[in-house]
Amino acid sequence: MGGENNIWVESEWADLKECVYGSPSVWVLPKFLSDARLRAQGEFGEFWKLNGGQDVSVVAPEVFQELSNQISETIKILEAYGVVVLTAKAVSEKNRLFPRGEDHGVSTPWMRDPFVTIGNNVIELAPRSLFHRRQRFAIREILASTMDRGAFYYAQPDAGADDYVDSPGWGYLEGGDIFVLGEHILVGHSGGCSNPQGAHWLQHVLGPKYIVEVVPIDPMFPHLDCVLMTPRQGIAFACLDALPDGLPNFMTNWDIVDVPKSLAKNHMGCNNLVINDRTVLVPSEEPLDRVAEELKLRGFDVPRTPYRVPCMAGGSFRCAHQPLIRV
């Protein structure tokens, strides 16, 4: 693993030392296309339909200010735990038109999906979602800098301008679907985001040292991290009703906390931020109290902070960050 500043992600529960985190500065709602329909729900879904393509700071300044404040406060909490936090930069006007000449907004408050770090591999991904495909441009300098810090930096073949192509060579991967559990890598498959072709490509580039396993999930959830959290070796919080084939076999003897579908979907109950195998950051909103209590029963410290607006938009703490160092 080299020096302490070298890029390396060992597992979901290893100590978080450095990450890319969502930006509190800009939020422009993507156009309401098929990828938005996978994520929009309830009252916020209606707001998104009406305001696709609009800057939230203009059409709903109070909502934007709450989002910005909640992200900023979370970053302060991570820094207080000693985490180095890097945030996304602006996406240029021309890159906002990528990949097919339509402005799909700026979704940089959530930075889990455009790349993944596995061991010392920093991989730009080919997301299924059009608004995730341009997020890489907001962090390209950060990702490129990892080459000088012991990382192998490369990119999955780009997905182009089509919504979805289901044929060999058209692999899709989104960071919210990928779990790093040592040398065992899980890839969620809801039918609308990552797909088995993407998992096949990931296995190819990682080589035989790693085992990449596809985990089917209910199509009502976009990503695996909407239905699974692994805060420590041997412990998982999972929405079992959303896992048609169940959890992977190697988790058979794990301590499993079953998270109801309503809590997982409406309040992002599984999408918390594992700081280390003793500490998990959980939103302070009341519906998450159950998750916090189950963690405390298992010996975790559970700091809390408001995160209503990001969760309302379909992405809590795990969606907001992608680690560069977890050791």
Query: How far apart (Å, rounded) are the C-alpha atoms in residues 126 and 154?
Result: 12
- Helices first, then strands: H and E counts in the chain: 11, 16
pLDDT in tens, 251-272: 999 999 999 999 999 999 999 9
Report the C-alpha gap between 171 and 164 in whole angstroms. 10
pLDDT per residue as tens digits for the range 270-316:
999 999 999 999 999 999 999 999 999 999 999 999 999 999 998 99
Q: Is the pLDDT of residue 35 over 90?
A: no
Least confident span in 32-36, 76-80, 125-129, 278-282? 32-36
Residue 168, C-beta contacts closer than 8 angstroms, at least 6 positions apart: 197
Q: Which of the two residues, 49 and 19, has the higher pLDDT score?
A: 19
| Residue from 193, 289, 286, 280 nearest 230 by CA | 280
Average pLDDT over residues 49-70: 96
pLDDT at 39 over 80: no
The Cα–Cα gap between 86 and 260 comes to: 33
Interatomic CA distance for residues 84 and 98, integer angstroms: 30
Torsion angle (degrees, nearest 10) of CA 59, 63, 65, 67? -130
Q: What pLDDT, on the 0 to 100 scale, is given for residue 1? A: 61
The pLDDT of residue 103: 86
What is the mean pLDDT of the segment spanning 210-220?
Answer: 97
Mean pLDDT, rounded, of the chain: 95
pLDDT at 241 > cutoff 70: yes
Given a contact cutoff of 8 angstroms between Cβ atoms, the answer to whether 143 and 323 are in contact is: no
* DSSP β-ladder status, 321-326 and 8-9: parallel
pTM of the model: 0.97
pLDDT exceeds 80 at position 41: no
The predicted-structure confidence for 152-209, as pLDDT tens digits, reads as follows 999 999 999 998 999 999 999 999 999 999 999 999 999 999 999 999 999 999 999 9
User: Per-residue pLDDT tens for 61-117?
Assistant: 999 999 999 999 999 999 999 999 999 999 999 999 999 998 889 999 999 999 999
Residue 119's Cα: distance from chain center in Å?
17
Looking at the DSSP assignment, which residues form a beta bridge with residue 55?
28
